[in-house]
Amino acid sequence: MIEPSVPRRIGLLIPSSSSTQEPEFARALPPSVTVHAARLPLTRIQDDQTARVVETIEIESRKLADAEVDVIALPATAPSSRTGVGGDQALIKRISDATGKPATTASTAMLEALKLLGARRLVLGAPWSPTVNQSVVAFLSANGYEVLDQQALGHVDNLEVGRLDESTAYEMGRRVDRPDADIVMLACGNWRTMGVIDRLERELGKPVVSTNLVTLWGALCLCGGVDRIDGYGGLLRDHLTDRRNEAAE
C-alpha cells in the first residue's frame, strides 16, 4: 500500500499555448501530489510545430529538475507519437539523460494503458485535424493496435482547443464508439476530457481514456504517489501501482 501523505511532485512539459492540463491534473490529485510545469513552444497543432516543440526539451526538463520533481511527463500525444515506433522512448531518454529523473510521455502511457487494460481494438476521437489524427492512428497501428474508427473536430489553433467545453469530449466519445471496440481514446492534452470519463464509462460499458488521464496515471505510477483516485474512471481508480523500482532498472 502506498502512503497517501508522502509528498510527490510531477513535472509537466506542456505546450506553451495549453491552458487545460495544469487545472485538470491539479483537480484530480490529492494535496500531497503537486504539479509543476515548464512550457515548450507551440500555438498550432500542425506537423511543423509538433516537430519543433521538443527542440528545447532538455533545457526545460532541467528547469523542472531544479524543483526536485519526482517524475517528468510530456503530456502531448501528437509530438510524442509523430515519429513512429520508438519515438516516444527517444524523448524519454532525452529527458532522463538531461535530468536523471524518470520520465514518460502521453504516447508511452497510452500504449501502457492499452496493454494493461487488454485492449487491442479501439476508437479514437480528437479535437485537432484529420491529418494529425492519421499520424496518431499510424503510431497505434505500428504498435500492433487496430483503430476501428477515428474522428476529428478539425481545430488547428491550440488556444481554440483549450476553450472547448468538456461536453465536446463527451459527445465525441458517444459518437465515435462502436460495439466491437475494446476502449475509447480521446486524444489531445489541451482538450477538457477528464470530467466526462466516468460518465462515458458507465454509459458505454467499457474503458475510456484520454491524453491527460493516461499521462497522469503513467506519471503517478512512476513516482508512487497515491493508492487510487476516484471519479475519473477505472484506470485511476483500480490500476495505480508503484513502478519506481521498475523504472530504475
Taking Cα atoms as reference points, which of 64, 96, 70, 74 lies closest to residue 15? 74
Res 82: pLDDT: 87
Q: What Cα–Cα distance (Å) separates residue 129 from each residue in 33, 117, 126?
A: 34, 27, 8
Q: What Cα–Cα distance (Å) separates residue 161 from each residue in 17, 58, 168, 206?
A: 10, 26, 10, 26
The answer to whether residues 75 and 21 touch, using CB atoms and an 8 Å cutoff, is yes
Distance of CA 152 to the CA centre of its chain: 17
User: Residue 25: is it exposed, middle or buried by C-beta count within 10 angstroms (0-12/13-18/19+)?
Assistant: buried
Res 151: pLDDT: 98
Instruction: Identify the three-state secondary structure at position 205.
Output: coil
Res 50: pLDDT: 86
By 3-state DSSP, what share of the chain in percent is helix, strand and coil, each rounded to 5? 45, 20, 35
Res 226: pLDDT: 80
The span from the CA of 172 to the CA of 187, in Å, is 11
Q: Nearest 5 degrees, angle CA 177-CA 132-CA 124?
A: 10
Beta strand residue intervals within 24-160, DSSP E:
33-40, 71-74, 103-105, 121-126, 146-152
- Give per-10-residue mean pLDDT for the chain (249 aa): 70 96 95 95 90 94 98 95 90 98 97 97 97 95 97 97 98 98 98 98 98 97 87 95 65
The span from the CA of 187 to the CA of 127, in Å, is 8
Taking Cα atoms as reference points, which of 104, 114, 110, 80 lies closest to residue 220? 104
Res 225: pLDDT: 66
Domains belonging to the chain, first-starting first, are 8-106+214-228+241-248 (3.40.50.12500), 110-211 (3.40.50.1860)
The answer to whether residues 143 and 113 touch, using CB atoms and an 8 Å cutoff, is no
Res 122: pLDDT: 98
